[in-house]
Structure 1
Amino acid sequence: MQQVSSVTELEYAFLFTLRKVNSINTEGFQPFFQNLPIDPYIKGKYRSRRLSRVTVAENKLIKLPHGHLFQSQAYNPLLGDIKREFAELEDALVELDIFRNLVLAFSDSCKLHPEAEIGIHQIRTTCSPGHLGNPAPEGIHQDGTDFIGIFSVGRDNIQGGETHLYTAKKEKPVFNKILQPGELVVVNDHDFFHFTTPIKSENPAPGTRDVFVLTSPSLITE
């Protein structure tokens, strides 16, 4: 269940939003999570990932040249100051109407400039009996961008994976919720830190958590 601190949700309405994107049937995304390359920068091989960047022009997506992801160590103490290379999103995924609807929902929520650059991370976190999956191995953090969106695609055989928002690292979260498929939380990265708790298998079998993480600016450079 969503929880908000004693500060009213209305006061935070301009800093983060939670919405269900009804124009998206998340089942249409599922095939594209079956062949994600392993993230080579995370020990344990429990995370898979692709990455691309786009702009929106007249409600159409324009895929921009591929590049590498770069964050300073001030924002990512685990993998900061490293040029990280990931495979691009598949063209067939980017061409889906539901994918365009997701990017437009993020852009509209942030009230982005029409030419704003948006980075899209396609991420699967896995777990198995005796082995947790950690969606945020860097801990409570900011990304070093303006806006972040986390869109839940699927949860299969898992417990945990609860999204938290904080006004400061050492404070209690002002928001915590397990995002259900179709839900999108959009956050002002200047005002909040974020974190997602580890996942573990609900039954004695592997489990997965599938999400898209969107950022603007993209943090991608050529």
Structure 2
Amino acid sequence: MQKVWEATELEYAFLFTVRKVNSINLEGFKPFFNDMPIDPYIKGNYRSRRLSRFTVAEDKLIKLPHGHLFQSKNYNPLLGDIKREFAELDDALIELDIFKNLVLAFTDSCKLHPEAEIGVHQIRTTCSPDNLGNPAPEGIHQDGTDFIGIFSVARDNIIGGETHLYTAKKEKPIFNKILHPGELLLVNDHEFYHFTTPIKPEMPAPGTRDVFVLTSPSLLIE
């Protein structure tokens, strides 16, 4: 049931697709996931997060001023109507060519307007033999943006973490897949709800799931 964008360039032209981003060497991202601040807005200390926002001008990234993540309770019943603040992405990460390639893969695939604002969420979800990690504690949801990209960087000693898409909250998923490192899922947020299942260790040791989530608009406010 996967459908790639139509030939027309009308807004919201595609529904969802998965692509492999071959221009990115994932090893370059991995060190930047080892020093991540804990997300203070969810219980359990199992998620770490950074967040920055950008625009693209002539294949160059322009970093925008620091902002606060804000979603309505209509979209995020767990943390809606709260201004959330996260540390910015590491400057050394932003300077990498592979980071620019990732953002351009998102903007080009979604055919974003040149002045579109893009939020880049860097997220690590952890689990242990005693605790699951929950990539989507808000449950089946929409983000309240136009386009979403979920890019898998690494899966270390985990099972689970399967991403689902739904046409309605109470329907069965029309898409379900574990995103393997290097895969980018692009979703029209107006058309689908999404969810990612909890993770647990494959072997009796800690496990991690590292992703970048890109959104446009960014969902950030001053």
Normalising by structure 1, what TM-score? Answer: 0.95
* 1:133 match: secondary structure: coil
Contact 2:143 2:189 in 1 (8 A): yes
CA distance in 1, matches of 2:16, 2:143: 15
TM-aligned CA distance change 1:12 to 1:194, over 3 Å: farther
1:104 matched residue in structure 2: 104
Kindly report which structure 2 residues correspond to 1:1-222, keeping only aligned pairs within 5 A, or say none. 8-10=1-3, 14-222=14-222
Contact 2:89 2:122 in 1 (8 A): yes
Deviations 1:119-154 (A, max 9, x none): 000000000002100000000000000000000000
TM-aligned CA distance change 1:16 to 1:55, over 3 Å: same
CA distance in 2, matches of 1:121, 1:10: 25
TM-aligned CA distance change 1:31 to 1:159, over 3 Å: same
Q: Which runs of 5+ in 2 are unaligned?
A: 7-13
TM-aligned CA distance change 1:71 to 1:45, over 3 Å: same
Amino acid in the other structure paired with 1:182:
G
* 1:137 match: secondary structure: coil
Amino acid in the other structure paired with 1:210:
D
* RMSD between superposed Cα atoms in Å: 1.0
Contact 2:52 2:89 in 1 (8 A): yes
CA distance in 1, matches of 2:2, 2:206: 36
CA distance in 2, matches of 1:85, 1:16: 29
TM-fit CA distance, 1:116: 0.4
Amino acid in the other structure paired with 1:39:
D
* 1:9 match: secondary structure: coil
TM-fit CA distance, 1:17: 1.1
Q: Which runs of 5+ in 1 are unaligned?
A: 1-7
Contact 2:128 2:204 in 1 (8 A): yes
* 1:101 match: secondary structure: helix
CA distance in 2, matches of 1:9, 1:51: 29
Amino acid in the other structure paired with 1:125:
T
Amino acid in the other structure paired with 1:209:
R
* 2:107 match: secondary structure: helix
Normalising by structure 2, what TM-score? Answer: 0.95
CA distance in 2, matches of 1:197, 1:12: 27
1:3 matched residue in structure 2: none
Aligned pairs, how many?
215
TM-aligned CA distance change 1:78 to 1:10, over 3 Å: closer
CA distance in 2, matches of 1:186, 1:10: 11
